[in-house]
Structure 1
Amino acid sequence: MNRHKNGFVNGLHDGLPIALGYFAVAFSLGIVARKAGLTPVQGFISSVVNHASAGEYAEFTVIMANASYLEMAFVILITNIRYLLMSCSLSQRFAPNASLFHRFWVGFGITDEIFGISIARAGSLDPYYTYGAMSISIPGWALGTALGITAGNILPVSAVSALSVALYGMFVAIIIPAAKNNKVIGGVVSASFVISFIVSEIPLFDHVSDSMKISLLTVLIAGIAAALFPIQDKDDDTNTLSDEEVPEYDA
């Protein structure tokens, strides 16, 4: 029990900077949610169950487009599908006797940053560490969204418009460093811009909503890039644990 308590406290400690960063980004996302007509309570709940900037932005875009629930489900699935892969990868760091309960709830709370600090832990992963990070970072994200919606209802239109740009700045900050460091990623990003523009100008696709266009192009372009430029597997023995290193987890 003490081990789990220490793991939870360490997760809280490491999750605090993530929570502060999430709050700032989610505040800008709340401005977009306000444009989609969400109340602060609705925005808070949305961020608790869909704690991903790209996924929530896609969600709000679909709402503003008055699209169907089926289209919303498809868009969010495509946007957030990377978390499925992260969850599968992180589950391999648990001891073999870790229960399905732990695997499920850790998978629910996976974000890019929480995955990063969890996978970087030495030895077998204690799920309570990830619970600690989740318990402070996810509320920070949800609170930022709710306050962003509240601010959007109070601030003048000019200020709301300026704050809306901050979210796009976040996406640019994610894309540019990766594109500079990897020519393949840079080429895929450039191709995405060009192809998206071409598709937007073709009358044949006028009846397809913008969110569906983005989702379909994401699957198509990412699939082609993965087929043409696969990532080479590398041998990594650092995650191999001896019998002495494998802890036991309570159900």
Structure 2
Amino acid sequence: MKGEYKAGLADGLAIGIGYFSVSFTFGILAVKGGLSALTAGLISLTNLTSAGQFAGLTVILAHGSLVELALTQLVINLRYALMSLSLSQRLGPEFTTRRRMTIAFANTDEIFAVAMGRKAPLTPAYMYGLATLPILGWTLGTVSGAVASGLLNAAVRSALGVALYSMFVAIVVPPMRQLKSVRIVVAAAVIV
């Protein structure tokens, strides 16, 4: 079990580092919009979705209603429900309902891609390890960006926003080269 957790940590390290840089930008924007560093950090700790958080922040700062915020989150994050359904097909009987819910909370695009690309069976310890550093990276990056919001110039803040897309491409391209099914899914996603 300990080895599986360590394997998950190793596979999640690059995601955690990438999330740190992207969420750094979220922290900067949240503080510049009037939220405290603590509030920004709590948002990131409890809502692990980059696009959803950036869109939600826009709605919050525009003084949108809770209905607008909920609908925005539903539309943007619906893909996570579909990814969780797909991922659940790879989970064995040792994944209780509570474990499945925990994994679903941490199921981001990058975590999903790494988990689905793993040849070995998925275990709870592996999945917890895979999620640990991305959650820490996302939360600590947000808090760090919020605290450092007044120290960076606009060019550096803008450059940090590209990191998430670069990381996702780096995770998807290797399996895409090997598997025709992944190439088909990527092509369909590009067309849509």
Taking structure 1 as the reference length, the TM-score comes to 0.63
Q: Does the CA-based 8 Å contact 1:55-1:79 persist in structure 2?
A: yes
Is the 2:21–2:163 Cα contact (8 Å) retained in structure 1?
no
**2:162 match: secondary structure:** helix
Please say if 1:165 is aligned against 2:161. Answer: no
Structure 2: how far apart are the matches of 1:175 and 1:100? 28
Would the aligned equivalents of 1:26 and 1:148 in 2 still touch at CA under 8 Å?
Answer: yes
Q: Where does structure 2 lack aligned partners over 5 or more consecutive residues? A: 173-182
Letter matched to residue 93 of structure 1: R
Aligned positions of 1:92-241 closer than 5 A? 92-96=89-93, 98-152=95-149, 154-155=150-151, 159=153, 161-166=154-159, 168-170=161-163, 225=192
Instruction: Write the mapping of 1:65-104 to structure 2, written as runs, cut at 5 A.
Output: 65-96=62-93, 98-104=95-101
CA distance in 2, matches of 1:88, 1:32: 33
TM superposition shift of 1:110:
0.5
Normalising to structure 2: TM-score of the pair? 0.81
* Structure with larger RCO (C-alpha < 8 A, sep 6+): 2
The answer to whether 1:56 aligns with 2:53 is: yes
In structure 1, how many angstroms separate the alpha carbons of the residues matched to 2:27 and 2:189?
A: 29
Q: Which residue of 1 aligns with 2:21?
A: 24
Q: 1:9 aligns with which of 6, 10, 14?
A: 6
Residue 71 and residue 101 in structure 1: after superposition, are their counterparts in 2 closer, same or farther (change >3 A)? Answer: same
Deviations 1:117-173 (A, max 9, x none): 111222532121110121121111111011111111x326xx1x3344235535775
How many residue pairs get aligned? The number is 179
What amino acid does structure 1 have at the position aligned with 2:76?
T
On the 8 A contact 1:27/1:146 being kept in 2, the answer is yes
Contact 2:30 2:146 in 1 (8 A): yes
1:81 partner SS: helix
- Bigger drift between 161-170 and 63-72 goes to 161-170
8 Å CA contact retained: 1:27, 1:147: yes
CA distance in 2, matches of 1:88, 1:101: 15
Runs (4+) of structure 1 exceeding 6 A deviation are 174-178, 181-184
Task: Out of 114-123 and 6-15, give the one that drifted further.
Answer: 114-123
Unmatched runs of 5 consecutive residues or more in structure 1: 189-224, 226-251
Return closer, same or farther for 1:81/1:167 CA change in 2, 3 Å cut-off: farther
Question: Residues of 2 paired with 1:82 and 1:45: CA distance?
Answer: 23
Tell me how far apart the structure 2 counterparts of residues 117 and 175 of structure 1 sit (CA, whole Å). 10
Report the counterpart of residue 177 of structure 2 in structure 1. Answer: none
